[in-house]
Amino acid sequence: MKKGLLILLCLPLLFSCGEDNSSKKKDGKEAKHGTKDPEKNGEKAGKLACEMEELQEEIDDLRNYIHDLEWDDDDERKEISDLEKKKFKLEVKAWTLMKDAQELENNKWSAIEDEDDLEDWMDDYREARDDYIEDNCE
């Protein structure tokens, strides 16, 4: 049972490709994808979640508008094509934000030493993320 749990917990490592995103840049500033600090990473992930939510609303609005257009009408067909391209670009942006949020969470692997540390790190991360979302997302 513990081996299965350990395997499930290690799966996110596949997304990080083994790189340590918690290091600082040469100029002393934080790396793009956070630090080992769960609160800082959680807050950044919350900000990304707000951005993803806004993008998803825009994608849903486009999807609904496209649904109401008529493919048989030449003018509307061109509009459908243009809107689908715009929707695709927004979806790519949303996936990029989701990937960045996952990378923030993956910093846990370079910050922990044992299973208890993992649980504490994740609790702090989730609390910071959820607090940011509650306080800042519309």
Instruction: Determine the Cα–Cα distance for residues 53 and 48; give it in Å rounded to an integer.
Output: 9
In this prediction, residue 16 carries a pLDDT of 44
Residue 94 lies in a domain: yes
Answer whether residue 8 is part of any domain.
no
Please tell me the predicted confidence (pLDDT) of residue 73. Answer: 87
Domain membership flag for residue 26: no
d(CA 120, CA 62): 41
Query: Does any domain span residue 6?
Result: no
Q: What single letter denotes the amino acid at residue 136?
A: N
pLDDT of 13 above 50: no
Residue 47's domain comprises 36-136
| Phi, psi dihedral angles at 58 (to 5 degrees) | -65, -40
- How large a percentage of the chain has pLDDT more than 70? 76
What is the domain count for the chain?
Answer: 1
Is the pTM higher than 0.75? The answer reads no
Q: Is residue 73 one of the residues assigned to a domain?
A: yes
Q: What would the pLDDT profile of 32-88 be if each residue is shown by its tens digit?
A: 567 899 999 999 999 999 999 999 999 999 999 999 998 888 888 999 999 999 999
Does residue 77 belong to any structural domain of this protein?
yes
Residue 97 lies in a domain: yes
